[in-house]
Structure formats: C-alpha cells, structure tokens
C-alpha cells in the first residue's frame, strides 16, 4: 500500500510516458538481480539448516556469491545501456542505474537469512516501510528540481534500494553477528551456485511470469501505454505481496517437514496457508476490481482506461495462488521438475503474450497505439498462464505426497456471487467519488463479514490471534 503515494506522484508530476520508461528499466535490472541471488532467497534456509559452519560465515559466502554475480550483470548493462533503455536516449545517470542491483541482492540475501530464524519484522520494515517511502519522498522532492527531474525516478529507485539494504543488514548483524574469522571460499561459492541453480531458475521464472508481460509489451506499445499498464500491475501486485509475506515462515517449516518426511504436516501447512492467501487475494480482487477505474484515475488523467487490465491482473493473482504455494514445497522436493514446469508455463505465457498483443491490432485496427487498452492482450496472457501454472504444480505435488494441497474451499463460490452482485450495484449507482469513499469500504466490510462468519473456522482464525495465544492452542 505504501507504493500508492509513489504511483500518484509519478503519475501526476512525471506522466505515463516517463513512468513507462522507468517501469521497463527496473524490470530488466530486477530480472538480473533475481538471477544473481542464485536462489538463495529460499535456498539459504537449507544452507543454514546444515549447521556445518557458523551462520555468519554461511551468510558471508552467500552475500559474496550474489554480489559477484550482480556485479557481472550490472557491468554488462553499464557497458550496453541500450539493454535497459532500448527505446529512448541514454542520458544523465541512466548508464549507472544497473548498479542499484548490488544493493537489491544484498538485502534479499540478508532478509532471507533473518527469515530462517522467523524474523519477519526486518522484511516488513525494509520492504514495506523504508523502501516504498524512500522512493516516494525522493521522487516528490526531485520533481521540483528541473535539472534533476529527467533522472528523478531512477535516482529515487536507487536511493530506495540503498536504504532497504541498510535496513536489512543492521538486523542481520544484530542477530548473527559479524563473520569473525571468515574468509571467502571460492570452492564453497561454486558449490552454492551449483546446488542452487534450480532454485535460481525457479525464482527467475516466477519473477519473469509476473514481469515478462511488461518487457514484451514494451517492445510493441508506446511508453504511455506501458506506464498505465505498470500502474495496473502495481495495484494488482498488492495481493501478491501477501503471498510473499508468508514465505519467510512457510519456507523453514516446509524445509524441516521434507527433512523429516512429514508429508501430512506439509499438506496441512500448504492447505492452511493457501486458504489464508486465497481469502485475502480474492477479497482484494473483488473489491478493487469493481472500483478499479475510479482508483486508477487517482494516479492521473487517463489512467482509469486501464481498469480492464487491472481486473485481469487481479484475477491472475487469485488463479496463481495454489501453484505458488505448492511451489513452496516443490523447490525442496522436486527442484528440477518444478523448474521444468515453470519453464513450460513461461514459454506458454510468452507465446500467448506475443499472439494476443499482435492479435489486438488485427481485431481492433482503429484503436490508437497510445490507448492503454492496447495492453489488454498481455494481461489476458498473464491470467491464462497463472491458471496453467497452478494446474501443473498441483498435479506435480499430488505425485509426490498423498495429501490435498489446495487451499480452495466451497465457501468461495457463494461469497463471490454475492460480491459480484454488490460490486455491479456499486458501479451502477455510485459516482466515482462515492464509489471510492463509500462503495469500496462497504465492499471490503461485506466480504470480511461473510468470510469471517462462514469461511474462517477453528485453526483458520489463528492468523488473527496473538502469537502467544497461537502457541497455547493445541
């Protein structure tokens, strides 16, 4: 939610075209960063669980490996900046922008190490407070400095990465201490890279499935279209962040369950977490989907035209949940098969995106190239790929453990029907201001009440209890 002020500032002071250029650049840099982490965002839990070396030494090796890989990737991009900014003039600080990936991978590794010991507060502070508010405040300040305004968005992003890295390293040092007596082990680094390449590939494919649409669309659509699409994607990523919130807790639990071959507990954990995430994401999708046009108009004039894109991307997040949660176990139980399934889905998404984007121009030849609706084909491809991903990964899990892993329940059907009726009524009878001021809160309250009364039973409600109370529950 803290990203919303940044989107408003970017939309109002910089415009859709500048936002589209910025969006494409960060997608390319973040893809490189995901590859550079070598799967350690999830794999470091397995390294620390071995307890063969001091934890601080393991973290030191992981940091060195990730930063070295990121340095190589950033060096290539600095030398060939057209990779990051393919359709615009390279000026100012553009060439140095890829160096921000060094801080991104550093924070990813340290936060993953903290998550192993169930320290989620550090991730919340770095990712939900420090990072988004830094980029917002810096972008707002630089908007009034004419000489710096052309580079303002990338400067704001780089500053947010640096501050998030500092907010990640400090608690990591406090928890694990400094790596006293540590020295780099090249052979150990190579072993880490070799062991984690399936995880690195899975992470990269998972990231690409959520971003490749922007990269492909950037090759065919005007920057202004890409800017509106990016805003819709950021709104739609709100529920996706909920899944990421559960990763730090779910990963160690699954890792220990796999080691003990406790498949019953693994299945129960996947079902429970899956239900929680689907409940939240479905609610956000329904409430935000029916108020999407009014919500996106807050970013700037013309952004509301991307409401259809927003609706499809929100639907994709709901469809993707079961596959994403299942992958939390697959990365430990069947790394290579999980990677193959992910590659199949990614290939299908790329093909569908290319076909749908081109097909839109054939079906609607009179729609201007700068109209945001040009991105509807890419959003449809994302939704279909999400459905394919969940289908494949749930099927793979069923071959590995004799337990149901899906968090889907029948209660979602009647609740969705009621919400659709209420959403259409709100859209029909309320003007944009009242749709946001009264309609959106009413829809949220209605969904929350129905799910609490009819959906959340027994253990489901532990999510809303104090940690001490949860520990006392048998």
| Inside any domain, residue 427 | yes
Whether residue 147 sits in one domain with residue 203? no
State the Cα–Cα distance between residues 136 and 417, nearest whole angstrom: 38
Apex 314 CA angle, 245 and 103, nearest 5: 45
Among the listed residues 407, 235, 403, the one whose alpha carbon sits nearest the alpha carbon of residue 320: 407
Last residue of a domain, one of 139, 154, 184: 184
Whether residue 162 sits in one domain with residue 225? no
| Inside any domain, residue 459 | yes
Provide the 10 A C-beta neighbour count for residue 432.
16
| Inside any domain, residue 418 | yes
Whether residue 200 sits in one domain with residue 159? no
Q: How many domains does the chain have?
A: 2
- pTM confidence score: 0.77
Please give the chain's pLDDT, 474 residues, in tens.
777 889 889 888 888 888 888 888 888 898 888 888 877 776 777 777 777 788 898 888 888 888 998 999 999 999 998 888 876 677 778 888 999 999 999 999 999 889 888 787 888 899 889 999 999 999 999 998 888 888 899 999 999 999 999 999 999 999 999 888 888 776 766 676 677 677 667 667 777 777 788 888 877 877 788 888 888 888 887 666 666 666 666 766 777 777 777 777 788 888 888 888 889 889 988 998 899 888 888 888 778 888 889 989 999 988 988 888 888 788 778 878 888 888 899 999 999 999 998 888 778 776 656 676 778 889 999 999 999 999 999 888 888 887 787 888 899 999 999 999 999 999 889 998 889 889 999 999 999 999 999 988 877 777 666 444 444 444
The two tokens of residue 358 are 């081109």
Contacts of 291 (CB under 8 A, 6+ apart): 426, 427, 435, 436, 439, 440, 443
Whether residue 157 sits in one domain with residue 201? no
Contact 63, 106 (CB under 8 A): yes
Contact 71, 102 (CB under 8 A): yes
| Inside any domain, residue 190 | no
Whether residue 149 sits in one domain with residue 268? no
Quick: pLDDT tens for 446-459.
999 999 999 888 77
Whether residue 311 sits in one domain with residue 270? yes
Q: What is the pLDDT of residue 147?
A: 83
Whether residue 459 sits in one domain with residue 407? yes
Quick: pLDDT tens for 297-339.
888 877 888 888 998 999 998 898 888 888 878 877 887 888 8
Q: What is the pLDDT of residue 465?
A: 63
Last residue of a domain, one of 159, 184, 209: 184
Whether residue 401 sits in one domain with residue 361? yes
Whether residue 289 sits in one domain with residue 213? yes
Can you spell out the DSSP letters for 298-345?
TT-TTGGGGHHHHHHHHHHHHHHHHHHHHHHHHHHH-HHHHHHHHHHH
Residue 31 belongs to what domain range? Answer: 1-184
Among the listed residues 37, 35, 9, the one whose alpha carbon sits nearest the alpha carbon of residue 22: 9
Among the listed residues 135, 127, 140, the one whose alpha carbon sits nearest the alpha carbon of residue 155: 135
Whether residue 167 sits in one domain with residue 28? yes
Whether residue 243 sits in one domain with residue 202? yes
Among the listed residues 2, 65, 305, the one whose alpha carbon sits nearest the alpha carbon of residue 192: 65
Contacts of 451 (CB under 8 A, 6+ apart): 279, 283, 411, 415
Contact 425, 439 (CB under 8 A): no
Last residue of a domain, one of 162, 184, 206: 184
Whether residue 246 sits in one domain with residue 159? no
Contact 179, 56 (CB under 8 A): yes
Burial 417-426 (b: 16+ CB within 10 A, else e): eebeebbeeb
| Inside any domain, residue 189 | no
Q: What is the pLDDT of residue 42?
A: 66
The two tokens of residue 310 are 């927003």
């Amino acid at each position: 939610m803290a990203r919303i002020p940044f989107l408003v500032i970017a939309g109002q002071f910089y415009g859709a075209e500048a936002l589209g250029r910025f969006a494409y650049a960060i997608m390319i840099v973040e893809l490189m960063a995901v590859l550079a982490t070598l799967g350690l965002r999830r794999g470091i839990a397995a390294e620390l669980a071995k307890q063969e070396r001091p934890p601080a030494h393991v973290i030191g090796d992981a940091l060195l490996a990730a930063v070295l890989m990121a340095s190589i990737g950033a060096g290539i991009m600095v030398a060939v900046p057209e990779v990051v900014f393919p359709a615009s003039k390279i000026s100012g600080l553009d060439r140095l922008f890829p160096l921000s990936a060094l801080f991104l991978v550093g924070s990813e590794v340290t936060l993953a190490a903290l998550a192993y010991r169930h320290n989620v507060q550090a991730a919340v502070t770095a990712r939900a407070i420090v990072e988004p508010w830094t980029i917002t405040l810096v972008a707002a300040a630089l908007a009034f400095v004419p000489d710096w305004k052309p580079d303002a968005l990338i400067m704001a992003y780089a500053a947010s990465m640096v501050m998030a890295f500092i907010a990640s390293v400090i608690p990591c040092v406090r928890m694990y201490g400094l790596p006293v007596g540590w020295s780099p082990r090249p052979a150990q680094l190579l072993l880490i890279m070799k062991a984690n390449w399936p995880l690195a590939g899975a992470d990269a494919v998972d990231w690409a499935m959520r971003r490749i649409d922007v990269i492909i669309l950037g090759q065919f659509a005007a920057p202004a279209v890409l800017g509106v699409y990016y805003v819709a994607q950021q709104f739609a990523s709100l529920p996706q962040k909920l899944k990421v919130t559960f990763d730090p807790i779910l990963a160690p639990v699954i890792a220990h369950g796999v080691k003990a071959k406790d498949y019953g507990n693994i299945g129960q954990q996947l079902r429970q977490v899956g239900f929680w995430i689907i409940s939240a994401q479905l609610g956000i999708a329904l409430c935000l989907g029916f108020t999407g046009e009014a919500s996106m108009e807050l970013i700037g004039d013309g952004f509301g035209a991307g409401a259809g894109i927003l609706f499809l991307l929100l639907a994709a997040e709901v469809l993707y949940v079961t596959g994403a949660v299942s992958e939390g176990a697959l990365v430990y139980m069947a790394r290579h098969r999980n990677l193959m399934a992910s590659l199949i889905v990614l290939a299908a998404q790329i093909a569908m995106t290319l076909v749908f984007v081109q097909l839109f121009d054939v079906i609607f030849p009179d729609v201007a190239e700068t109209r945001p609706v040009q991105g509807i084909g890419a959003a449809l491809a994302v939704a279909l790929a999400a459905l394919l991903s969940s289908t494949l990964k749930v099927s793979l899990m069923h071959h590995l453990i004799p337990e149901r892993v899906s968090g889907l329940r029948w209660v979602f059907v009647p609740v969705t029907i009621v919400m659709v009726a209420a959403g259409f009524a709100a859209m029909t009878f309320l003007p944009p201001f009242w749709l946001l001021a009264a309609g959106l809160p009413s829809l949220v309250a209605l969904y929350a009440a129905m799910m609490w009364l009819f959906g959340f039973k027994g253990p489901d409600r532990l999510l809303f209890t104090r940690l001490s109370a949860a520990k006392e529950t048998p």
